[in-house]
Structure 1
Amino acid sequence: MKIQEKDGEIVSVYSIYWINNKTLFLGFPKNYGGLRAYDLANVSVIEPDLMGDFVFFEDGIYHSALIKERLLDDILERDETAYHRFLEILKAEGRVDPDFY
Protein backbone atom coordinates (compact mmCIF):
# COMPACT_ATOMS: atom_id res chain seq x y z
CA MET A 1 0.00 0.00 0.00
CA LYS A 2 1.24 3.49 -0.78
CA ILE A 3 0.02 6.91 0.23
CA GLN A 4 0.93 10.35 -1.02
CA GLU A 5 1.36 13.36 1.21
CA LYS A 6 0.18 16.79 0.12
CA ASP A 7 3.79 17.76 -0.68
CA GLY A 8 3.92 14.85 -3.15
CA GLU A 9 6.06 12.46 -1.09
CA ILE A 10 5.06 8.83 -1.59
CA VAL A 11 5.27 6.58 1.47
CA SER A 12 4.87 2.82 1.84
CA VAL A 13 2.36 1.74 4.50
CA TYR A 14 2.98 -1.11 6.95
CA SER A 15 -0.07 -0.72 9.19
CA ILE A 16 -3.67 0.44 9.12
CA TYR A 17 -5.46 1.06 12.39
CA TRP A 18 -8.52 2.83 13.70
CA ILE A 19 -8.86 5.18 16.67
CA ASN A 20 -11.88 7.39 17.44
CA ASN A 21 -13.47 6.70 14.05
CA LYS A 22 -10.31 7.77 12.22
CA THR A 23 -8.35 5.65 9.79
CA LEU A 24 -4.63 5.96 10.38
CA PHE A 25 -1.63 4.50 8.60
CA LEU A 26 1.89 3.81 9.75
CA GLY A 27 4.25 4.65 6.94
CA PHE A 28 8.00 4.22 6.58
CA PRO A 29 9.32 7.48 5.09
CA LYS A 30 12.93 7.85 4.00
CA ASN A 31 15.22 9.72 6.41
CA TYR A 32 12.75 9.54 9.31
CA GLY A 33 14.24 6.71 11.34
CA GLY A 34 11.00 4.95 12.21
CA LEU A 35 7.34 4.59 11.42
CA ARG A 36 5.25 7.73 11.14
CA ALA A 37 1.48 8.04 11.62
CA TYR A 38 -0.64 9.48 8.82
CA ASP A 39 -4.33 10.38 8.98
CA LEU A 40 -6.35 9.28 5.94
CA ALA A 41 -7.93 12.75 5.91
CA ASN A 42 -4.51 14.28 5.13
CA VAL A 43 -3.15 11.90 2.48
CA SER A 44 -4.21 10.21 -0.75
CA VAL A 45 -4.14 6.45 -1.15
CA ILE A 46 -2.39 5.84 -4.46
CA GLU A 47 -1.91 2.06 -4.18
CA PRO A 48 -4.62 0.37 -2.08
CA ASP A 49 -3.24 -3.18 -1.93
CA LEU A 50 -1.39 -4.39 1.18
CA MET A 51 1.40 -6.67 0.04
CA GLY A 52 3.34 -9.00 2.26
CA ASP A 53 2.68 -10.77 5.52
CA PHE A 54 0.19 -8.81 7.66
CA VAL A 55 -1.64 -9.74 10.85
CA PHE A 56 -4.63 -8.35 12.72
CA PHE A 57 -3.58 -7.15 16.17
CA GLU A 58 -5.79 -5.27 18.67
CA ASP A 59 -7.02 -2.25 16.71
CA GLY A 60 -5.51 -2.73 13.30
CA ILE A 61 -3.60 -4.63 10.65
CA TYR A 62 0.19 -4.64 10.91
CA HIS A 63 3.16 -6.02 9.03
CA SER A 64 3.72 -9.29 10.85
CA ALA A 65 7.34 -8.54 11.81
CA LEU A 66 6.18 -5.53 13.83
CA ILE A 67 4.13 -7.84 16.03
CA LYS A 68 6.01 -11.14 15.94
CA GLU A 69 9.39 -9.52 16.64
CA ARG A 70 7.89 -6.96 19.03
CA LEU A 71 9.27 -4.03 17.04
CA LEU A 72 6.17 -1.84 16.97
CA ASP A 73 6.57 0.19 20.16
CA ASP A 74 10.32 0.62 19.73
CA ILE A 75 10.12 1.66 16.10
CA LEU A 76 7.38 4.19 16.91
CA GLU A 77 9.79 5.68 19.45
CA ARG A 78 12.45 5.77 16.70
CA ASP A 79 14.73 3.23 18.35
CA GLU A 80 17.71 2.67 16.02
CA THR A 81 17.99 -1.06 16.68
CA ALA A 82 14.30 -1.67 15.91
CA TYR A 83 14.51 0.58 12.84
CA HIS A 84 17.49 -1.29 11.41
CA ARG A 85 15.90 -4.67 12.12
CA PHE A 86 12.65 -3.71 10.38
CA LEU A 87 14.60 -2.20 7.50
CA GLU A 88 16.58 -5.44 7.19
CA ILE A 89 13.31 -7.40 6.99
CA LEU A 90 11.82 -5.07 4.38
CA LYS A 91 14.96 -5.25 2.25
CA ALA A 92 14.95 -9.06 2.44
CA GLU A 93 11.30 -9.05 1.29
CA GLY A 94 12.13 -6.65 -1.56
CA ARG A 95 9.75 -4.01 -0.12
CA VAL A 96 12.34 -1.21 -0.13
CA ASP A 97 15.33 -0.47 -2.33
CA PRO A 98 18.73 -1.70 -1.12
CA ASP A 99 19.88 1.94 -0.75
CA PHE A 100 16.91 2.89 1.48
CA TYR A 101 18.20 3.96 4.90
Structure 2
Amino acid sequence: MKIQEKDGTIVDVFAIYWLENETLFLGLPKNYGGLISYKEKNVHVIDSTLNGEFNYFSTHINGIYHWALIKEALLDDIIERDEVAYNRFVEILKAEGRIDPDFY
Protein backbone atom coordinates (compact mmCIF):
# COMPACT_ATOMS: atom_id res chain seq x y z
CA MET A 1 0.00 0.00 0.00
CA LYS A 2 1.23 3.49 -0.78
CA ILE A 3 0.12 6.88 0.44
CA GLN A 4 1.10 10.35 -0.70
CA GLU A 5 1.73 13.20 1.71
CA LYS A 6 0.55 16.71 0.87
CA ASP A 7 4.11 17.64 -0.19
CA GLY A 8 4.07 14.81 -2.75
CA THR A 9 6.23 12.35 -0.80
CA ILE A 10 5.19 8.74 -1.42
CA VAL A 11 5.37 6.41 1.59
CA ASP A 12 4.97 2.63 1.85
CA VAL A 13 2.40 1.52 4.45
CA PHE A 14 2.95 -1.51 6.67
CA ALA A 15 -0.01 -1.22 9.04
CA ILE A 16 -3.54 0.14 9.18
CA TYR A 17 -5.20 0.70 12.52
CA TRP A 18 -8.21 2.40 14.02
CA LEU A 19 -8.22 4.71 17.00
CA GLU A 20 -11.07 6.88 18.22
CA ASN A 21 -13.08 6.46 14.99
CA GLU A 22 -10.12 7.39 12.79
CA THR A 23 -8.24 5.30 10.27
CA LEU A 24 -4.47 5.63 10.55
CA PHE A 25 -1.58 4.25 8.54
CA LEU A 26 1.91 3.37 9.70
CA GLY A 27 4.30 4.32 6.95
CA LEU A 28 8.03 3.86 6.51
CA PRO A 29 9.48 7.01 4.96
CA LYS A 30 13.06 7.03 3.73
CA ASN A 31 15.69 8.55 5.99
CA TYR A 32 13.44 8.69 9.06
CA GLY A 33 14.58 5.59 10.95
CA GLY A 34 11.16 4.38 12.02
CA LEU A 35 7.46 4.24 11.33
CA ILE A 36 5.28 7.34 11.26
CA SER A 37 1.54 7.44 11.87
CA TYR A 38 -0.53 9.20 9.20
CA LYS A 39 -4.18 10.14 9.53
CA GLU A 40 -6.22 9.01 6.55
CA LYS A 41 -7.71 12.49 6.17
CA ASN A 42 -4.22 14.03 5.78
CA VAL A 43 -2.91 11.80 2.98
CA HIS A 44 -4.01 10.44 -0.38
CA VAL A 45 -4.07 6.66 -0.89
CA ILE A 46 -2.41 6.04 -4.25
CA ASP A 47 -2.23 2.21 -4.03
CA SER A 48 -4.71 0.48 -1.72
CA THR A 49 -3.26 -3.01 -2.14
CA LEU A 50 -1.57 -4.58 0.88
CA ASN A 51 1.11 -6.90 -0.48
CA GLY A 52 2.70 -9.59 1.63
CA GLU A 53 1.65 -11.24 4.87
CA PHE A 54 -0.45 -9.03 7.13
CA ASN A 55 -2.22 -10.08 10.31
CA TYR A 56 -5.06 -8.65 12.32
CA PHE A 57 -3.84 -7.79 15.80
CA SER A 58 -6.13 -6.79 18.63
CA THR A 59 -5.08 -4.92 21.74
CA HIS A 60 -6.29 -1.53 22.84
CA ILE A 61 -5.52 -0.52 19.23
CA ASN A 62 -6.98 -2.92 16.65
CA GLY A 63 -5.34 -3.08 13.26
CA ILE A 64 -3.79 -4.98 10.38
CA TYR A 65 -0.02 -5.14 10.64
CA HIS A 66 2.86 -6.55 8.61
CA TRP A 67 3.60 -9.93 10.18
CA ALA A 68 7.11 -9.00 11.37
CA LEU A 69 5.90 -6.03 13.40
CA ILE A 70 3.92 -8.40 15.61
CA LYS A 71 5.65 -11.78 15.43
CA GLU A 72 9.12 -10.29 15.95
CA ALA A 73 7.82 -7.71 18.45
CA LEU A 74 9.24 -4.79 16.45
CA LEU A 75 6.26 -2.44 16.45
CA ASP A 76 6.81 -0.39 19.59
CA ASP A 77 10.56 -0.14 19.10
CA ILE A 78 10.26 0.98 15.48
CA ILE A 79 7.74 3.65 16.40
CA GLU A 80 10.26 4.88 18.97
CA ARG A 81 12.95 4.83 16.27
CA ASP A 82 15.08 2.07 17.81
CA GLU A 83 17.91 1.47 15.37
CA VAL A 84 18.20 -2.29 15.96
CA ALA A 85 14.48 -2.89 15.42
CA TYR A 86 14.44 -0.58 12.39
CA ASN A 87 17.38 -2.37 10.77
CA ARG A 88 15.76 -5.76 11.38
CA PHE A 89 12.47 -4.63 9.83
CA VAL A 90 14.24 -3.13 6.81
CA GLU A 91 16.22 -6.37 6.41
CA ILE A 92 12.95 -8.37 6.38
CA LEU A 93 11.29 -5.99 3.90
CA LYS A 94 14.28 -6.14 1.55
CA ALA A 95 14.31 -9.96 1.69
CA GLU A 96 10.60 -9.95 0.80
CA GLY A 97 11.15 -7.47 -2.04
CA ARG A 98 8.82 -4.92 -0.39
CA ILE A 99 11.32 -2.06 -0.53
CA ASP A 100 14.26 -1.21 -2.77
CA PRO A 101 17.64 -2.73 -1.85
CA ASP A 102 19.06 0.80 -1.51
CA PHE A 103 16.30 1.96 0.87
CA TYR A 104 18.70 2.37 3.80
Length-normalised TM-score, structure 2: 0.96
Q: Which residue of 1 aligns with 2:98?
A: 95
Number of the residue aligned with 1:12: 12
**Structure 1 stretches of at least 4 aligned residues deviating more than 6 Å after TM superposition:** none
Q: Does 1:85 align with 2:61?
A: no
Partner of 2:75: 72
| Ranges in structure 1 where 5+ consecutive residues have no aligned partner | none
Query: Residue 62 of structure 1 corresponds to which residue in structure 2?
Result: 65
Tell me which amino acid in the other structure corresponds to 1:33: G
Q: Which amino acid aligns with 2:49?
A: D
In 1, Cα distance between equivalents of 2:47 and 2:100: 18
Letter in 2 for 1:18: W
Q: Percent identity?
A: 70
Equivalent-residue separation in structure 2 for 1:22 and 1:63 (angstroms): 19
Q: 2:91 is matched by which residue type in structure 1?
A: E
SS at match of 1:66: helix
Provide the rounded CA distance (Å) in 1 between the counterparts of 2:37 and 2:73.
18
Match of 1:39 in 2: 39
Question: Cα offset for 1:99?
Answer: 0.6
Q: How big is the alpha-carbon RMSD for the aligned residues of Structure 1 and Structure 2?
A: 0.3
Relative to the length of structure 1, the TM-score reads 0.99
Give 5+ residue unaligned stretches, structure 2: none
